[in-house]
Amino acid sequence: MTSVPALALAGSWPMAALLIIAERVGKAIRNPPRDAMLARAGETIGRGWGFGLHEALDQLGALVGPLVVAGVLAVDGRYPAAFAALLISAILTLASLTAARLAYPQPPGLAAPPADLQGTGLPARYWLYLTAAAFVAAGFADFSLISFHFERRHVVDPALVPIFYAAAMGAGGTAALIMGRLYDRVGIGLLVPLTIVGVAVAPLAFLGGAVAAFLGAILWGASLSVHESVMAAAVAEMVPPSRTASAYGIFTMAFGIAWFLGSALLGLLYDRSLPLMVLVAVLLQLAAVPFLVAVARRPAATAGEIRR
């Protein structure tokens, strides 16, 4: 939580890169246990709604953060001051976490059987789903590349890029609530049309003008929320309680590696052929659809089958 505000003190790009990596490592460490707790809590209120509510609150912070940065830049004009302002939210986060830990050291209903840390023995449905998620991640352009394109090709005024990002986060929070509730009613088959709709992000963001770019940013935010809410909620439906945390760890690792490799590929293609880059992004995400269809049609394994 302190890595991003510390960017105010970064005097070189290697230091900035180190702080960004530290922030990502922190996210990677906290996400699997967090998702396991959300999955357990979701047994009562619905996993889609639980993950959707969490994602909506997360996106609310992601909406306010860029607006704060934009406001500070408008007044002060310096990035160090803008990053330093984010220290307030970091302190509030750590204070809230400490208060929760003191008040609820063992939250009722969240206790799980002893974890099995082996990756073997997870059901075939889970691995099909993991393959689909990896294709989705590989073809999903990061907003850093999108914002770079906006500025390099003069698609929008640079001052509007944080506003576009804030709008994307607002759309993502709304989508997370709606799609999370819908997932609890429809099931994993919902991911098939959502993935197909998300394919439009790259053409809108990279091949159109300002209006298309704005629509692409909005759809990007909504798609990201689907990945982090509905797609995450489905993992818990495929594994036994003793494997939930390790299954989320494997899922997060695979998704992150696929996103990293896909982003590197899209970045290389961007410098060579923008239409080719968009085509590859589209094809990678469409490649996930057959796997998602197979997962939706494959009956859930029984507890005995999962243990085997």
CB-CB contact of 50 with 224 (8 Å): no
Q: Is residue 202 part of a domain?
A: yes
Q: Which amino acid is at 52?
A: G
Q: Is residue 113 part of a domain?
A: no
Residue 96: count of CB within 10 angstroms of its CB: 10
What's the burial of 157, exposed, middle or buried (CB within 10 Å: 0-12/13-18/19+)? exposed
Quote the DSSP letter at residue 5.
Answer: G
Q: How many domains does the chain have?
A: 1
Mean pLDDT of 26-36: 84
Say whether pLDDT at 216 is over 90. yes
Say whether pLDDT at 121 is over 80. no
CA distances from 195 to 18, 68, 69, 283 (A): 33, 32, 31, 12
Quote the tokens at residue 279.
Answer: 């085509």
Q: Is residue 50 part of a domain?
A: yes
Residue tagged 């797609």 (tokens): 231
CATH code for the domain in which residue 284 is found: 1.20.1250
17-21, 44-48, 122-126: segment of lowest average pLDDT: 44-48
pTM above 0.75, yes or no: yes
DSSP per-residue codes, 227-288: HHTHHHHHHTTSS-GGGHHHHHHHHHHHHHHHHHHHHHHHHHHHTT-HHHHHHHHHHHHHTH
CB-CB contact of 161 with 150 (8 Å): yes
% of the chain surpassing 70 pLDDT: 92
pLDDT digits (tens, 9 = 90+) for 289-305: 999 999 998 766 544 44
Name the residue with higher pLDDT: 16 or 298: 16
pLDDT recorded at residue 118: 54
What's the burial of 152, exposed, middle or buried (CB within 10 Å: 0-12/13-18/19+)? exposed
Q: How far apart are CA 229 and CA 234, in angstroms?
A: 9
Quote the DSSP letter at residue 33.
Answer: H
Q: Is 57 helix (H, G, I), strand (E, B) or coil?
A: helix
pLDDT recorded at residue 308: 41
At 306, is the pLDDT very low, low, confident or very high (cuts 50, 70, 90)?
very low
Q: Is residue 87 part of a domain?
A: yes
Say whether pLDDT at 117 is over 80. no
Q: Is residue 142 part of a domain?
A: yes
pLDDT digits (tens, 9 = 90+) for 232-264: 999 988 888 878 888 998 998 999 899 999 999
pLDDT recorded at residue 107: 66
At 307, is the pLDDT very low, low, confident or very high (cuts 50, 70, 90)?
very low
Closest CA to 66 of 149, 193, 163: 163
Q: Is residue 116 part of a domain?
A: no
Q: How far apart are CA 142 and CA 252, in angstroms?
A: 16
At 109, is the pLDDT very low, low, confident or very high (cuts 50, 70, 90)?
low
Q: How far apart are CA 223 and CA 137, in angstroms?
A: 11
CB-CB contact of 165 with 217 (8 Å): yes
Q: Is residue 114 part of a domain?
A: no
DSSP per-residue codes, 78-109: -HHHHHHHTHHHHHHHHHHHHHHHHH-SS-TT
Structural domain that includes position 231: 5-107+121-307
Q: Is residue 112 part of a domain?
A: no
Say whether pLDDT at 116 is over 80. no
pLDDT recorded at residue 104: 80
Say whether pLDDT at 36 is over 90. no
Mean pLDDT in the chain? 87
At 120, is the pLDDT very low, low, confident or very high (cuts 50, 70, 90)?
low
